[in-house]
Amino acid sequence: MDISRGLSSLLLFIPTFRSIQVSNSLMWKVSNASTMISSFLCNSHNYSKFLLYDYFSITSICISYINHNFINSILLMRLLQEYKTGGSIELTKNISFGLAVSMSMYHNYIIKEHMNFTLITFGGVGGAFVYCVRYYLYKRNITKYNMFLTTIWHACSASLLYGSSHSI
């Protein structure tokens, strides 16, 4: 257990607190808090123990933002099928994250007239780039940049969730 590796997860406290203030959706508030907790546990403890919980929290926050019965039912069926066959839900997490970021960019640029669009763009594009770099290095067993990239990922996620709280 290395608590210093999980401290960057506390950046997610800012959007969690903001979602409690401005959002009307209970699921959005709960999934924001769950994401902060799961990220801290995943990064500060043995990575494999809490990875599934972290993926599930990210998927649940995306599903709560999408809030469309047909799309959410497809994502949930995919999540169950992927977990049953492979024991992981990484692909479903990535698909739901991409859909939620796209919807957030649409809501904040088109519907809310540019409200928080810079935060959403920074969080979505920057977060996706950092995730790809981190995954690439992880697959090659290069871990010396992992803490730095995780901190940047949490900053991007925090800005994305903060901006998205206003449009849900």
3-state secondary structure the chain: CCHHHHHHHHHHHHHHHHHHHHCCCHHHHHHHHHHHHHHHHHHHCCHHHHHHHHHHHHHHHHHHHHCCHHHHHHHHHHHHHHHHHHCCCHHHHHHHHHHHHHHHHHHHHHHCCCCCHHHHHHHHHHHHHHHHHHHHHHHCCCCCCHHHHHHHHHHHHHHHHHHHHHHC
**Tokens matching residue 49:** 């123990």
Q: Which of 140, 103, 141 is nearest to 124 (CA)?
A: 103
Mean pLDDT, rounded, for 59-66: 88
Q: Are 59 and 34 in contact (CB under 8 A)?
A: no
pTM over 0.85: no
Tell whether the model's pLDDT for residue 79 goes beyond 70.
yes
Per-residue model confidence (pLDDT) at position 127: 84
Residue-averaged pLDDT of the chain: 84
Higher-confidence residue: 155 or 119? 155
Tell whether the model's pLDDT for residue 149 goes beyond 70.
yes
Per-residue model confidence (pLDDT) at position 113: 63
Tell whether the model's pLDDT for residue 112 goes beyond 80.
no
Tell whether the model's pLDDT for residue 117 goes beyond 80.
no
Mean pLDDT, rounded, for 27-31: 90
For 38-57, the pLDDT digits (tens) are: 999 988 887 777 888 888 88
Tell whether the model's pLDDT for residue 98 goes beyond 70.
yes
CB-based contacts of 162, cutoff 8 Å, min separation 6: 14, 15, 18, 116, 119
